[in-house]
Structure 1
Amino acid sequence: MRVSGPVLVDVTRTAVSPHAVAWAADEAAWRGLPLHLVHAQEWPTGKPPHGGPGQELPHWATHFRAGGEALLQRAMEAALMRHRELELVPSLVAGRRVHVLREAAESAGMLVLGARRYTGVDTLFAPGDKSDALIGHLACPVVLVPEPAAGLPADAPVVVGVDGSPASDLAVALAFEEAALAGTGLVAVDVRRPRDAELPEFLDESRLVLSEALAGHCAQYPEVQVRHEVLTGDPAGMLASAARRARCLVVGARGRGGFRGMLAGSTSRTLAHRTDCPLIVAPPPQATGHR
């Protein structure tokens, strides 16, 4: 799939937000797209920003809003430090973060979020929050960006999970595009049940799945060097391990389901907790009209 529309980044006060802004700025610059920076400003419970129609903002609310504007300004300056030519669109929006981002993502080509390594995606995906409102339900890819791992080589490959499903097809297309833009290689991973390794057709079947999934994209992106890996075990654990030294890991929003589903429900949350590199979740086929 080809990303079109602005790259949307969630700007927050967390320590990982600058890394999300940097990733989003690179993506927007490489793709020649605008960078839309959004800060969702949730007003304190029981303290509305104004007393009624026609009334001015109280003193505390003025300062509260100014703090959000300053946060956006710093994020914009950081993005321009990386890419002076970027077209920036800042938005300070009052409302709950999930709702604000979901609405903004309707016209976006990609949504980028900061992620705390091993603890989930900021408070957005804390227990009880509505994470499903974003991952797997938007028509654009969602990127979870943690603090960068130390010592990662400049030519670190893109890793993609492949299982032959329509969702996996979208992930493969996105992974090839990402590898081509970054000027790096691609590692395609098929994760199988441990008992499958005992079957005589195990490797042949896996190689066929990988070859069929990659064939057209290899022709479209001949500059991208591709390597295949067939692994056995838990999909989330195996994919996280394969992507330990990767530029990013790309997966589909819904796989075949059951054990082999690459990103079905709890597996997506597990990957968000385990991956050391940015995790890119392709949108579900039904959200893009892909069948």
Structure 2
Amino acid sequence: MSDNPTQYGILVAVDGSPESDTAVSWAVREAALRKASVTLLHVQAPVLVTWPISTAESAIAEWQGDSSRQILERAEKIFHSHAPASDAVRVRTESVAAPIVPALIEATRAALMVVVGNRGTGSQERLALGSVTAGLLHHAHCPVVVVHTRDAADSAGPVVLGIDGSPASEAATRLAFEEASLRGADLVAMHAWSDSTVFPAIEIDWHLYRDEAEENLAERLAGWQEQYPDVHVQRRLPCDRPAHWLVAESEHAQLVVVGNRGRGGFAGLLLGSVSSAVARKSQAPVIVVRN
């Protein structure tokens, strides 16, 4: 596949599930805002035939081809039903026969972002994230947007940013400002100045820690506020449990943006606990940004 990042534009992984339908409808608006094209991609996993009958392989391949066409036709119909009449958003479809997760990961090399439902057709109802979504969150080469059928995103709400000073957080900050500017929305920047859930029973002046955190947050936002003067920024400084507060804030947001690793991560850690929890539990679509 090409290394050209505009080959796919906004890439949507489709599989015919309700979550996939929601991902398609979300991508329509994002494409209109960015004046970007959209690719609806369906990956057919190879089926292993254990008996030596060539006609069986041919029949399975034909069935998979028909199924893939139906899934893509459904996705394209949903796309056009949500596309604003005033915006000529270009959409194309593509079907690939390959192992699903590796094929999608490779495709993300040539995408602006990839949009996926939190669960697919093969996921059990009790699971919050499907294996395909989890694989993309760990290994994609572009930002990953996770949408849920339960998303109750407020189209007039703010963009919420989780910021902690890590390299991934810096990349997320850039994208969050861009998204807020495109949407004409406020930006809520949340920085939890402690990861602890229980404070030690000793006399510590926590105001000093909060003041230092507030100063650090202001410094990290200053350059981006100069670059995006149209974005009104609200700062939130909860003292602990960043994932909890980001999920709570998502109830009134139109989008949540986080980095893939936080300050507690290390080079070998592909997905941090905060980004994982937010992707699972958010009430609004989540963009996880890799540094």
TM-score, normalization: structure 1? 0.82
- How far, CA to CA, are the matches of 1:93 and 1:87 in structure 2? 20
- How far, CA to CA, are the matches of 1:45 and 1:114 in structure 2? 26
Counterpart position of 1:287: none
Please tell me whether residue 121 in structure 1 is matched to residue 121 in structure 2.
no
Counterpart position of 1:167: 168
Residues 55-79 of structure 1: CA distance to partner in whole angstroms, max 9, x if unpaired? 9972443232111111111211221
The 8 Å contact of residues 259 and 275 in structure 2, kept in 1 or not, is answered as: no
- How far, CA to CA, are the matches of 1:245 and 1:118 in structure 2? 25
Counterpart position of 2:140: 138
Counterpart position of 2:43: 40
Query: What secondary structure sits across from 2:129 in the alignment?
Result: coil
The 8 Å contact of residues 25 and 79 in structure 2, kept in 1 or not, is answered as: yes
Residues 53-112 of structure 1: CA distance to partner in whole angstroms, max 9, x if unpaired? xx9972443232111111111211221222251212211111222111011111111011
The 8 Å contact of residues 113 and 121 in structure 1, kept in 2 or not, is answered as: no
- How far, CA to CA, are the matches of 2:141 and 2:63 in structure 1? 36
Query: What secondary structure sits across from 2:207 in the alignment?
Result: coil
- Aligned-partner residue type, residue 214 of structure 1: L
- Aligned-partner residue type, residue 11 of structure 2: L
- Aligned-partner residue type, residue 45 of structure 1: L
Please tell me whether residue 26 in structure 1 is matched to residue 22 in structure 2.
no
- Aligned-partner residue type, residue 222 of structure 1: P
- How far, CA to CA, are the matches of 1:181 and 1:86 in structure 2? 16
The 8 Å contact of residues 160 and 187 in structure 1, kept in 2 or not, is answered as: yes
Query: What secondary structure sits across from 2:115 in the alignment?
Result: strand
| Gaps in structure 1 of 5+ consecutive residues | 126-130, 285-291
Please tell me whether residue 218 in structure 1 is matched to residue 225 in structure 2.
yes
- 1:270 to partner: Cα distance: 2.1
Query: What secondary structure sits across from 1:233 in the alignment?
Result: coil
- How far, CA to CA, are the matches of 1:60 and 1:96 in structure 2? 16
Distance 1:182 1:148, change over 3 A: farther
- How far, CA to CA, are the matches of 2:126 and 2:286 in structure 1? 13
Query: What secondary structure sits across from 1:268 in the alignment?
Result: helix
- How far, CA to CA, are the matches of 2:22 and 2:222 in structure 1? 34
- How far, CA to CA, are the matches of 1:209 and 1:153 in structure 2? 29
Query: What secondary structure sits across from 1:112 in the alignment?
Result: strand
- How far, CA to CA, are the matches of 1:226 and 1:47 in structure 2? 59
> Which residue of 2, 10, 13 corresponds with 1:7?
10
Task: Tell me how many residue pairs correspond in the alignment.
Answer: 267
The 8 Å contact of residues 114 and 144 in structure 1, kept in 2 or not, is answered as: yes
Counterpart position of 2:210: 203
- Aligned-partner residue type, residue 33 of structure 2: W
The 8 Å contact of residues 136 and 254 in structure 1, kept in 2 or not, is answered as: no
Percent of residue pairs bearing the same amino acid type: 35
Distance 1:118 1:141, change over 3 A: farther
Residues 129-185 of structure 1: CA distance to partner in whole angstroms, max 9, x if unpaired? xx3x432433310110112544x5331111001112221111111001111112211
- 1:238 to partner: Cα distance: 2.1
- 1:257 to partner: Cα distance: 1.3
- Aligned-partner residue type, residue 138 of structure 1: A
| Gaps in structure 2 of 5+ consecutive residues | 120-124
- 1:258 to partner: Cα distance: 5.7
The 8 Å contact of residues 193 and 210 in structure 2, kept in 1 or not, is answered as: no
TM-score, normalization: structure 2? 0.82
Query: What secondary structure sits across from 1:200 in the alignment?
Result: helix
The 8 Å contact of residues 11 and 40 in structure 2, kept in 1 or not, is answered as: yes
- Aligned-partner residue type, residue 97 of structure 2: A
The 8 Å contact of residues 155 and 185 in structure 1, kept in 2 or not, is answered as: no
Distance 1:58 1:219, change over 3 A: same
Query: What secondary structure sits across from 2:116 in the alignment?
Result: strand
- Aligned-partner residue type, residue 162 of structure 1: I
- 1:43 to partner: Cα distance: 3.4
Counterpart position of 1:272: 279
Please tell me whether residue 147 in structure 1 is matched to residue 144 in structure 2.
no
Query: What secondary structure sits across from 1:40 in the alignment?
Result: strand
Counterpart position of 2:157: 156
